[in-house]
A and B are shown apart, each in its own frame.
Chain A
Amino acid sequence: MNRGWQWITAGLAGLLLGLGLILSGMANPAKVVGFLDVAGPWDPSLGLVMGGGLVAGSIGFALLKKQPTTLLGEPLNLPTSRKIDLRLIMGSVLFGIGWGISGICPGPGLVLLGAGIPEGVIYIASLLVGMALYSVIEKLRHNP
């Protein structure tokens, strides 16, 4: 029963997030690159997406801090790591290069896939290969 509710609530979260991505313009690569291109005619829209997200997020997460468990009675499983290392920075730099080239980050990629846009299909297929590559590399590194 609880698991069913977990799936339903997680599905609703994905749906709301996806609708937000579409409404905000994040799912349009031209809009994303218009924000990243600070040297050209600049489109500040994505700064407002971030702003809207942070207003909802900071209030919501502050309220959640006082909750001992989730709505479904499970322990909160939020990240605790504070480590700032080369892995974090280099990974983010690689992500940024790929984001800059395509104008697509993972969420919008999935939305484009769902909309049946061919570019979204190619992007997500390649993204999955990149993620699988990480899992295989890390598996070999830990048990050679």
Chain B
Amino acid sequence: MTIDWQAFTWVAAISALLGGFMIGLAAVWLAWTNGRIAGISGILGHLVELLVQQKREHFGWRVAFLVGLIGAPLVWMAFATLPETIQQSGTLGLVVGGLLVGLGTRYANGCTSGHGICGLSRFSLRSLTAVCSFMGSAMVTVYVLRHLLGVQG
């Protein structure tokens, strides 16, 4: 294994640690104030579920949370320019990827935030299983796309 020192600089490492800390803090804050898990797929998925079933319970805090999250880049832009983002897939990849993430996270009851940050912080074996499963399959997927098929990056 070789480390990509061009990408993994001191600035990147410290930003990653600090950003991660903020994500953890946000999760604890939501649990402390609302008693809820800050799982993005769960929050978004339950809103979709409520729309499909035409119900409205616990709609408000979820919408408020998403407004904050979607508004984050706008708040950032008020003070600084957004860091550059480089996409890894074309339209087909985004459509297929989005579909699989939507279906998969609902069946698994969580994604990187719910299982990854909240679940592991609470030492849940269930979340550890989920994290190992999605990290493993994501790494295999990137290996196949990049190194076997040569279609990514």
Contact = CB atoms under 8 A, between A and B. Distances in A.
Interface residues of A, number: 117
Nearest to A125: B98
Given A71-B32, A92-B104, A135-B53, A25 B73 contact: no
B30 A133 contact: no
A88 B132 CA distance: 11
Best-buried of A21, A57, A84, A89 by chain B (most CB within 10 Å): A57
A85 to B, nearest CB: 9
A6 B33 CA distance: 7
Nearest to B137: A96
A79 B120 contact: no
Contacts of B147: 39-40
A29 B86 contact: yes
Interface in A45-103: 45-46, 48-58, 60-61, 64, 67, 69-72, 74-79, 81-84, 87-103
Interface of A: 3, 5-34, 36-46, 48-58, 60-61, 64, 67, 69-72, 74-79, 81-84, 87-107, 109-115, 117, 119, 122-136, 139
